[in-house]
Each structure stands twice: as C-alpha cells, then as structure tokens.
Amino acid sequence: MSTHQLSSGDLLADRRADYARMLAESGEFAGAAELMEQALEIVHGWAAGWFRLGEYREKAGLVSEAVAAYRAALDLVPEDIFGASLKIALLSGAQKTRQAPSAYVGRLFDDYAERFDAALVERLGYSVPQTLTALLLAATGNRRFAHAVDLGCGTGLLGAELRAQVDRLEGYDLSAGMLAKAEAKGLYDRLGEADLSLAPEACGVFAADCSERRADLAAAADVLMYIGALDPVFAIITRLLAPAGIFAFSVEDAGGNGDVVLRPSLRFAHSEIYVRGLVKRAGMTLLAVEKTTLRKDGAETVPGILFVAQR
C-alpha cells in the first residue's frame, strides 16, 4: 500500500474518514479531527490521512496539534506532495520556507488540469495572459519575436495570446497533465517538462538540443507565485535570453510585507522592491511595471504586479 494514497486501504479507517469529512463539511472541525484520529489509529502510516487531520485541527484552532499532524505527513512522504512543509511554515510563523516542493506543485496542477481553463478564466476572472501580452507589446513597440519561451506554460493560455506575435514558441511546465492540455491546442512548436525552481543545468529548459541564448522573449504568467525565492528563475533567464531579449512576467504583490511572503493560499507573493533588485542583478532594465488584479480567490481579489524587462 502506498503511504501517500488518498484511501487508507482499510475499510473501517476509510469509513471513519468519510464521517470526518461529513462533519467538516458541516463546520464541526473538532469532531472531524477526533474521527480522523481514530482512522489513523487503525492505519498509522496513511500520509494523506495525517494531512487531512492537520487541516481539520487547523480549522478547529488547534494550531500546535495541526503542525504535529502535518509533520507526520511530511515524515511519511518527504517529497511533500501535499505541501505539508508550507502549512508548517505558515502555522509556525517562521516564514523560513522560501520554495514550494516541486512534487506538491506538480501534483496540484496534474489534479487541476482537466478543469483549469474553465475554473481560472470563467469563475476566477483570470486575465493575466491578455494584460501581460498587452503590456509587453506596448513596452516593446509591438515588437515581433523570433523565438519565445513560455515558462510554466500550463494549458497554453499565454501561448494563445503570444502565438500571433512569435515565429517559434516553446512551452515548459512541471505538470504532465498541463502539458497534455497544451499539446492538444496545437500552439507550441516544442513542449517539455521543466522545474523552474532548479538550477539551469537541472531545470529541463536546456535539453541536449536546446541551446542557451536562444530566446528573444521569455514569459511567465501566474507562475512565480508557486516558486518562492526567484533566484533560480533569474539564473535560467540569464542563460536563456539573447542580447536585448525580453522577460515578461507576473507576481502576486507582497506590498510592504517583505521580499518573499508565503500566503495562506500556499502561494508566494513578491514585493516590487525585491523583484527590481533581481532584475538589476541580472543586468536587465525594466521597460514597464504595472500593478493589477490577477484573479479572484473566493470573495477576494488577488493583487499583482506585471513586469517587462530587457536584457
């Protein structure tokens, strides 16, 4: 039995977990936590169960107990497909975690791939591909690009906006499910799996037949909030862009709360000052900066910043 599967593999434990879920849906989180504890007494090595217990305890206001449950999930699955380390960082208040686990991000978007476009565009009012592309074209005088690379391409929402403006378009993503959706749209000349949180030599953007300095445009729409500290991304950009190449991207706006801030959504926000510093250290010049609303998150709107920088 896999330690991270969503079912415990035991009928009685699963039944207790189902009752716990029903209590949680009714807002009875303390009772839900008690039932999950009973389920985990039966199947102690059920990582998904420990993570669910952490969620119930957290919503019941049992913070230290929730952290203990998340730590148990992380101990069972060190690659952290559930994002337990992010939960621990949030609840402990330490804010030491500056990178999202790649396994968590990949699983999140694999699970989301089938409903991604409808959920993001139709229900959450997502328009970053359009607004970022408009800012890019305005800042570059409607420049046409010979070779563009869409980093964190997802299902191809940004690719659809860029396609008419570029001769060759590559797309890279951590999620195989997202890449399959992008391939079905027929927008990209090349698609590949890549992890932008890794150093350039390991990230996947520079495969054996993918040269450095090959792109005159790199773009990342609604991607960097799933990475955290952006030093690896700018190292990739430095090797990817040709002279005078453009990097267009969005971040969630941290305001004056710090350079990299982990939010309850388990996404990272970045301050304008932090991003400006990275751009300068990368030897780039900012052509445009625009504050905007990225999307909805429940009843709230998510503030963001769009950047266009030139090498």
DSSP for 70-99, written as a single string? HHHHHHH-TT-TT-HHHHHHHHHT-----B
Buried b (16+ CB within 10 A) or exposed e, 191-201: bebbbbbeebe
- The 10 Å Cβ neighbour count of residue 243 is 8
Question: Would you say residue 96 has pLDDT above 70?
Answer: no
Contact 147, 215 (CB under 8 A): yes
Give the model's pLDDT for residue 117.
Answer: 65
Task: Decide: residue 92, CB within 10 A, 0-12 exposed, 13-18 middle, 19+ buried.
Answer: middle
- Residue spans in the chain of domains classed CATH 3.40.50.150: 108-310
Distance CA 171, CA 67 (A): 37
Res 295: pLDDT? 85
What span, in angstroms and rounded, lies between the C-alpha atoms of 289 and 76? 43
Residue 12 CB coordination number (10 Å): 12
CA distances from 172 to 175, 197, 205, 269 (A): 9, 13, 7, 22
The average pLDDT across 64-88 equals 95
Whether the pLDDT of residue 268 is over 70: the answer is yes
> Does residue 95 carry a pLDDT above 70?
no
For the segment 26-73, what is each residue's pLDDT rounded down to a tens digit? 999 999 999 999 999 999 999 999 999 999 999 999 999 999 999 999
108-310 in CATH: which number?
3.40.50.150
The sign one gets for the Cα dihedral 292, 295, 300, 302 is negative
Determine the pLDDT at residue 2: 43
Q: What is the pLDDT of residue 97?
A: 62
Q: Is the pLDDT of residue 3 over 70?
A: no
Predicted confidence at residue 226, as pLDDT, reads 93
Q: What is the pLDDT of residues 190-241, one digit of tens each?
A: 999 999 999 999 999 998 889 999 999 999 999 999 998 999 999 999 999 9
What fold does the segment set 11-97 form as a domain? 1.25.40
Q: What is the reported pTM?
A: 0.90
Mean pLDDT (the chain, rounded)? 91
> CA nearest 95: which of 292, 218, 257?
257
Per-residue pLDDT band at 1 (split at 50, 70, 90): very low
Indicate if the pLDDT at residue 254 is higher than 60.
yes
Q: What is the DSSP string of 147-209?
A: EEEEET-TTSHHHHHHGGGEEEEEEEES-HHHHHHHHHHT--SEEEE--TTS-HHHHSSS-TT
pLDDT digits (tens, 9 = 90+) for 146-168: 999 999 999 999 999 999 999 99
Beta bridge partners of 64: none
Mean pLDDT along residues 96-119: 80
Output the CA–CA distances (angstroms, integers) from residue 311 to 105, 159, 240, 269, 302, in the order listed.
Answer: 29, 22, 11, 24, 29
Ramachandran region of residue 308, left (φ > 0), alpha (ψ -120 to 50) or beta? beta
The amino acid present at 34, given as its one-letter code, is: E
Mean pLDDT within 119-146: 89
Helix or strand (DSSP H, E) at 234: helix 231-240
Give the largest Cα separation in the chain, rounded: 65
pLDDT above 90: percentage of residues in the chain: 80
Map tokens 């659809």 to a residue: 160
Element (H, E) at 242: strand 241-253
Contacts of 51 (CB under 8 A, 6+ apart): 69, 70, 73, 82, 84
Distance of alpha carbon 263 from its chain centroid, rounded? 12
Write out the residue limits of the CATH 1.25.40.10 domain(s) in the chain: 11-97
> Is 20 strand, coil or helix?
helix
DSSP-based three-state secondary structure for 222: coil
